[in-house]
Amino acid sequence: MERPAWAPRSIDISVPSVSRIYDYYLGGSHNFEVDREAARRAMEFMPGLPKIMQANRAFMRRAVRFAAAEGITQFLDIGSGIPTFGNVHEVAQAAAPDARVVYVDHDPVAVAHSEAVLAGNDRADVVAADLCKPREILASPRLERLIDLNRPVALLLVAILHFVEDADDPYGAVAELRGALAPGSLLILTHASYEGIPLPAERAEGAVDVYRNIRNPLIMRSRDDIARFFEGYDMVEPGLVPMPHWRPESAPEDEDPYAFSGFAGVGRTA
């Protein structure tokens, strides 16, 4: 298999990657045949997967604009993936030119791409680190250069927590991050769930199995389990809801039924 110039030498391009599969669903070009194959297998069970990813991105953009309107100019996006059009730094810096953005991902392809996209943007950077090791993220010199933790931060955990198994203590990681944030900070979060998918759960389970087979288990949590990530936050209206219902800019009834799969919410630290 030909290795494209943008693929770091250190990565095994014969193994599918969650961030490259996501890139494929969003119509990006930074994915390999193994990623497209896994994506197509998952779509045999859930043909609406690209619609779910698009709904995630649309929510993320609305939530970033909301944070900027609330006066927040610092954004920490963990599990940021491969930058595609309309990424956090573009939305945030269009709304607030002085906005500072730090992306965090543990996928070397996502990190390499982010570095290329952010070259020349001195108010945005990327950290190679894992959500499950919050201390490493918070102690990163790249984060310290751009983000003042004594001022409010918008922490984005968009479509990432459903890739963290309970054994790896996602609740502990989210609580540790919350503990580092100043009062008035926001948590912007989406999470996959069987609730809202316009398919019987056993059919959706087929798509979940594809992720399990590529050793990136997709953990479908209930609305109540997802709400637990917001412990210590006051929910911003309208609370934890299907993505198209969070402060929509167009009529939710015009959305594809798959867009309602999973939940989105924003919480504020007191």
Where exactly are the structural domains of the chain? 51-199+222-269
Q: What is the average pLDDT across 110-134?
A: 94
What is residue 221's predicted lDDT score, i.e. its pLDDT? 98
Q: What is the average pLDDT across 99-107?
A: 96
The answer to whether the peptide bond before residue 16 is cis (omega within 30 degrees of 0) is: no
Q: What is the pLDDT of residues 162-214, one digit of tens each?
A: 999 999 999 999 999 999 999 999 999 999 999 999 999 999 999 999 999 99
Q: What is the pLDDT of residues 15-47, one digit of tens each?
A: 999 999 999 999 998 899 999 999 999 999 999
> CA 59, CA 162: separation in Å to the nearest integer?
17
Which of 186, 182, 172, 191 lies closest to 151 in space, CA to CA? 182
The values of phi and psi at residue 124, to 5°, are -145, 145
> CA 122, CA 29: separation in Å to the nearest integer?
25
Strand partners, 77: 103, 156
- pTM of the prediction? 0.95
Report the chain's terminal Cα–Cα distance, integer Å: 52
User: For 96, which DSSP code?
Assistant: -
> CA 270, CA 251: separation in Å to the nearest integer?
32
Element (H, E) at 224: helix 223-227
> CA 239, CA 102: separation in Å to the nearest integer?
26
> CA 177, CA 143: separation in Å to the nearest integer?
13
Band of residue 117 on the pLDDT scale cut at 50, 70, 90: confident
What is residue 197's predicted lDDT score, i.e. its pLDDT? 96
> CA 177, CA 117: separation in Å to the nearest integer?
26
Percentage of the chain with pLDDT > 90?
Answer: 87
What is residue 1's predicted lDDT score, i.e. its pLDDT? 67
Band of residue 83 on the pLDDT scale cut at 50, 70, 90: confident
Residue 85 has pLDDT above 80, yes or no: no
Q: What is the average pLDDT across 61-65?
A: 98
Contact 201, 171 (CB under 8 A): no
Distance of CA 106 to the CA centre of its chain: 13
Q: What is the average pLDDT across 2-26?
A: 85
Asked if the 51-199+222-269 domain carries CATH number 3.40.50.150, the reply is: yes
Compute the mean pLDDT over every residue in the chain, rounded to the nearest whole number: 95
